[in-house]
Structure 1
Amino acid sequence: MVGAGVLSLPYAMSHMGWGPGTTILTLSWVITLYTLWQMVEMHEMVPGKRFDRYHELGQYAFGEKLGMYIVVPQQIIVEVGTCIVYMVTGGKSLKKVHDSLCPDCKDIKTSYWIIIFASVNLVISQCPNLNSISIVSLGAAAMSLTYSTIAWGTSIKKGIEPNVDYSIKSHSTADAIFNFLSALGDVAFAYAGHNVVLEIQATMPSSPEVPSKKPMWRGVILAYIGVAFCYFPVALIGYYMFGNAVDDNILITLERPVWLIAAANLFVVLHVIGGYQIFAMPMYDMLETFLVKKVKIPPSFTLRLITRSVYVGLTMLVGISVPFFGSLLGFLGGFAFAPTSYFLPCIIWLKLKKPKIFSLSWIINWICIILGVLLMTLSPIGAMRNIILSATNYKFFS
C-alpha cells in the first residue's frame, strides 16, 4: 500500500499550504479506506462466487462488455503508469546513492541508472505469480516503513531551514493554481492499493465460517495504520522543516548524514523493485492470458520470458524518455488513480447494493464520487502543464 508517492508529499504540501494540504491528505486517507472496505466486502457478495479481478466486479455491475471497457483501460493505465514511475524512482534513487557515497566520482547519467534498475526487474519478473514474490513484497513493505521514518527523522535532526518560507511555491497566480491541481494528483498517487486488492484477496482461502473478507479487512486496517505512520509525518514534518524549498522527492533534498541518506535511497530502490512486481504481475497475467487464449500460443517458459522482458523493456524506455518524477505522479494520480481508488468502487456499490436514496450510505458515496470526479478532471491539467514546461528544457536520453 505504501508507495514511492510518499516521498513527494512534502512537495505537494508546498503547493497547497498548511490548511488545504492537511485537509486533502486526511480526506484522501479516509475516502480511500472507505472505498477499500467496499471492495473487500464486494469480493464475495454473490454466494459461491468470488470476484478475483477488478474487471470481473465491473462486469458483474455493468455487464460483460461495458464492465471491461470501463475497468480494464483504467487498470492498465494505473499499472503501466506506476511501473514507469517506479522505473524513474529506482533509477534516480540509485544515482543518489552513488552521488552521496562518491561525490568526486564521474557523473553517470540517470538513464544508465534506470537501465540498471530495469535489469534487476527483468530477472525478478520471471517469478510465476503473486504468491511467489511474497518475500519480495514483505521486504518492500519493511523498506517503505524504514525510508519513510528516515525521511522525517532526518528532517527533524536537520532542523528548520534558515529563512524557511511557507508561502505557496509559485511565480504567478496561474502557476499557483496549476501547481495546486498537480499537487492533488501527487496525493492521489499515494493511494494505489485498490487496483490489486481483489487479486490479493483472491490468494486467501475462504469458507462460509471464515470468509476471505475477515483476514483481508484485518490486513487493510494494518496497512492503513502503516500508511498513516508513513504519510503524515513525512508530509507534515518535511514541509515544516523545508517549507517551499523542498524537492519533489524529499530524500533528494536531504544531504546529511551521508551514509543514512544513501541507505534510505537504497531502501527506496529495494522497495520499488517489490512495488514494480506487484503492479506488473496483473499486466503479465493479462498479456499472457491474451496470447494463450486469443493468439493460441501455448503456455511455456519462453512465452513468459519474452512477454515479461518486452514489458519491462518498454516501461524502462518510457521512464528514460519522461523522467519527471513529481509531474508524472500528479498526472497519473489524477487521471488514473482517482477513478479506481476514489469513486469507481462507490459507483459499483450504488449499482449493486442499491442503498436507499438520501440514506447515509447513499450520501457518503455521492460525496466520494463528486470529489473523485473533480480530482480526475482537474489534477492532470496542472501536471500536464508542468510536464510541458519541464520538457522545454530537457534533452531526451540525457
Structure 2
Amino acid sequence: MVGAGVLGLPFAMSQIGWVPGTLAIIVSWVVTFYTLWQMVEMHEMVPGKRFDRYPELGKHAFGEKLGYWIVMPQQAIVQVASDIVYMVTGGKSLKKCADLVCPWLGQLRQTYFIMFFAFLQLLLSQTPNFNSLKGLSLLAAIMSVSYSMIAFVASIIRGSHHQYEHVRYGVRSHTTASIVFDIFNSLGTVAFAFAGHSVVLEIQATIPSSQQKPSKTPMWKGCIVAYAIVALCYFSVAVAGFWAFGDLVEDDVLVSLEKPRSIIAIANFMVFIHVLGSYQVFAMPMFDIIESNLVKKLHFTPGRPLRLIGRSTYVVLTAFVGICLPFFGGLLGFFGGLAFSSTSYFIPCIMWLILYKPKRWSFHWTASWISIIVGVVITILGPIGGARSIIMSAKTYKLFS
C-alpha cells in the first residue's frame, strides 16, 4: 500500500499549503480506507463465488458488457501509469544513489539508469504469478517503510538547521493561474499515493476461503495494518519534508535531501528495490490481460514463449514512455487524477450503491456519495494540473538526457 507516491507528498504540500495539504491527505486516507473496506466485502458477496478481478466485480454491478468497459480501461490505466512512474522512480533513485556514492558514475544520463531498471524488469517479468512474488513483495514492503522513515528523520535533521537559512512556507507559485494549476496537480499527486485498490481483489484472491473462514476476515486485518502504516509514513514524510524545505522541495523529497550522504544513498537504493517489486505487482494483472488476448485472438499457445513476447513488449513500452517523459511530479498529478481517483475513490462506492441499495441518508449511502463527490472532483481537476506541469517541465527538457 505504501507506494513511491509518498515521496511526492511534500511537493504536493508545497503546491497547496499547510492546512489544505494536510486536509487533502486526511480526507483521502479516510475515503480510500472506507472504499477499501467496500472492495473487501464485495469480493465474496455472492455465496459460492469470488470476484477475483476488478472487471469481474464491475460486470456483476453494471452488467456484462458495460461493467467490463467501465472498469477494465480504468484499472488498465492505473496499472500502466504506476509502472511508468515506477520506471522513472527506479531510474531516478538509482541515479541519485550513484551521485552520492560514485560521483563519476552519476555523470551518466538518467536514461541509462531507467534502461538498467527496465532490463531487471524483463527478467522479473518471467515469474508466473502473484504467489511467485511473495518474497519480492515482502522485501518491497520493508523497503517502502524504511525509506519513508529515513526521509522523515533526515527531513527533521535538515529542518533543525532553519536558524541558518530562510525557509518559506507559502505556496510555491506566484501568479494566480499557476497557483490554481498547482492546486489541481497536488490533488492528483495525493490521489496517486492511494493506488492499492486496483490490485486488492487480485491479492485477496490468493487467500484461501471457506464458509467458516471467509477470505475477507484475514484480508481486512491486513488492510487495517497496512493503512495504519500508510498513515504513519504519509503524514510523517509529507509534514517533515515540507517543514524542512518549504516551497523549494523537489517533486521527490529524497532528491532534495543530501546529508547524511551514506544514509540518503541507502534510502534511494531502498526506493529502487521497492519499485523493483511494486512494478511487478501492478504489472501482473496487465500480463494476464495481454496473455489472455494473445491466446484468444491470435491463438498463441500458453507457455514460456507467450510470456516472453507479451510481457517483454509491455516492459519495453513502459520503459520507452518513462524515458521520454521522466517528470515525476507531473506524472503523479496527471495519472493520479485521470484513473487512480476513480478506481480508489468512487467506483467502489457506485458499485456498493447499485448492489446493496442502502437507504437514503443512512451511513453507507451518505459516506458513498461523499466519496463519489471527492473522487469526481479529483478526476476532473488532477489531470489538468498534471498535464500543465508536464508541459512546463518539457519546455526545458532535452529528450533522452
TM-score (norm 2): 0.98
Determine if the alignment matches structure 1 residue 358 to structure 2 residue 353.
Answer: no
CA displacement, residues 144-186 of structure 1 (integer Å, 9 cap, x when unaligned): 0000000010111223442110011103010011001101111
Q: Partner residue of 2:302?
A: 299
Q: How far apart are the structure 1 equivalents of 2:59 and 2:106?
A: 54
Name the structure 1 match of 2:33. Answer: 33
Give the aligned partner of residue 154 of structure 2. 154
Task: Indicate if the aligned counterparts of 2:159 and 2:243 stay in contact, CA closer than 8 A.
Answer: no
How far, CA to CA, are the matches of 1:270 and 1:65 in structure 2? Answer: 39
Deviation, structure 1 residue 296: 1.6
Structure 2 CA distance for aligned equivalents of residues 364 and 81 of structure 1: 28
Contact 2:38-2:348 within 8 A present in 1 as well: yes
Determine the structure 1 residue equivalent to 2:9.
Answer: 9
Q: What displacement does 1:293 show?
A: 2.1
Note closer, same or farther for the CA distance 1:256–1:350 as it changes in structure 2 (3 Å cut).
same
Partner amino acid for 1:235? A
Residue in 1 aligned with 2:249?
246
2:339 counterpart (326, 336, 342): 336
In 2, the alpha carbon distance for the partners of 1:329 and 1:308 equals 24
Q: Does 1:390 align with 2:369?
A: no
- What's 1:167 paired with? 170
AA paired with 1:85? V
Identity of aligned residues (%): 59
The structural deviation recorded for 1:11 is 0.5
Question: Is the counterpart of residue 115 in structure 1 residue 118 in structure 2?
Answer: no
The equivalent residue for 1:286 is 289
Aligned: 1:143 with 2:143: yes
Take 2:392 and 2:159, find their aligned partners in 1: how far apart are those partners?
32
Moved over 3 A (4+): none
Q: Which of residues 226, 230, 233 is equivalent to 1:230?
A: 233
2:210 is aligned, of 198, 207, 211, to: 207
User: Quick one: which of 255, 260, 283 aligns to 1:257?
Assistant: 260
Contact 2:17 2:171 in 1 (8 A): yes
In 1: Cα distance, 2:92 partner to 2:14 partner: 21
Unaligned runs of 5+ in 2: none
When structure 1 is superposed on structure 2, of 209-218 and 104-113 the one drifting more is 104-113
Question: In structure 2, what is the Cα distance between the partners aligned to 1:47 and 1:293?
Answer: 29
Q: Provide Cα deviations, 1:218-277, integer angstroms capped at 9, x if missing partner.
A: 010011011011101000111112111110000000001111111000000000000000
Residue ranges of structure 1 left out of the alignment (5+ in a row)? none
How much has 1:106 moved relative to structure 2? 6.3
What letter corresponds to residue 98 of structure 1 in structure 2? Answer: A
Cα deviations across residues 95-118 of structure 1 (Å, max 9, x unaligned)?
Answer: 001111123556100100000011
- State the aligned residue count: 398
1:373 maps to 2:370:
no
Q: For the structure 1 residues 106 and 154, does the alpha-carbon distance in structure 2 shift closer, same or farther, using more than 3 Å as the test?
A: closer
Task: For 1:90, give the aligned amino acid.
Answer: G
Structure-1 separation of matches of 2:358 and 2:328: 41
2:130 is matched with 130
Deviation at 1:18, TM superposition (A): 1.0
Asked if 1:176 is matched to 2:159, the reply is no
Give the aligned partner of residue 83 of structure 1.
83
**1:96-115 correspondence to structure 2 within 5 Å:** 96-105=96-105, 107-115=107-115
Q: Distance in 2 between matches of 1:278 and 1:106?
A: 29
In 1, Cα distance between equivalents of 2:98 and 2:145: 22
Quote the residue 1:20 is aligned against. 20
Query: Deviation of residue 379 (structure 1)?
Result: 1.1
CA distance in structure 2 between the aligned counterparts of 1:206 and 1:248, rounded to whole angstroms: 42
Cα RMSD after superposing both structures: 0.9
What per-residue deviation string (whole Å, max 9, x for no partner) do you get for residues 259-317 of structure 1? 11110000000000000000000000111111112222110101101111111011000
Instruction: Say if 1:394 and 1:31 are closer, same or farther in 2 by CA, change over 3 A.
Output: same
CA, structure 1 residues 105+303, in 2 after alignment: closer, same or farther (shift >3 Å)? closer
Q: 1:45 to 1:159 in 2, by over 3 A?
A: same
> Which residue in the other structure is 1:349 paired with?
352
Letter in 2 for 1:151: A
